[in-house]
Amino acid sequence: MENKFLKISYRLAKIPDECSLSDKTLLIAAEHATQSSHSPYSKFRVGAALLLEDDSIIEGSNQENASFPVGFCAERTALSAKVAIAPNKKIKTIAIRVKSALKVVNQPAAPCGICRQVLLEAEEAQNQNIKVVMQGESGPILIFESIKDLVPFYFGADDF
């Protein structure tokens, strides 16, 4: 048996000023999206903002339901809105921000497994990487050049 190691590459910005103007703008849009979150159960607001190839921005937020599996994550809400509003435009970047009524969140919250898979398939369908930018309410900003960096052993359409 052979041991293997996995290396994941990402950038870490300690403050927003270390980010590009477009990433800073998108993080602000994702923070704005948290305001439309419906999260009465978890008190954990998630906002996502997509930057499209024409530099337009589409926002989405998490929408909880008392029957927890029925809810929608912010990332998938934004992607669904993009398909309805701009189906033929490519996504350049997704920014994700989080807030909690229970405590200050100073670390980024990564997309759940379902959202990672949906983002991966969107990336493959457009044949272009989707950059992922994540931040909590404050604190460090993580920047990944592709969703595949968050799903190193991904399952795609070519696998079946």
Catalytic residues: 75
- Quick one: tokens of 106? 């100073």
Dihedral of the CA atoms 67, 132, 128, 117 (nearest 10)?
-30
Gap between the Cα atoms of 146 and 153, Å rounded: 13
- Asked whether 49 and 58 are in contact (CB, 8 A), the reply is yes
Q: What is the DSSP string of 25-51?
A: HHHHHHHHHGGG-B-TTT-EEEEEEEE
- Asked whether 133 and 149 are in contact (CB, 8 A), the reply is no
Gap between the Cα atoms of 148 and 106, Å rounded: 24
SS3 content of the chain, % helix, strand, coil (to 5): 35, 25, 40
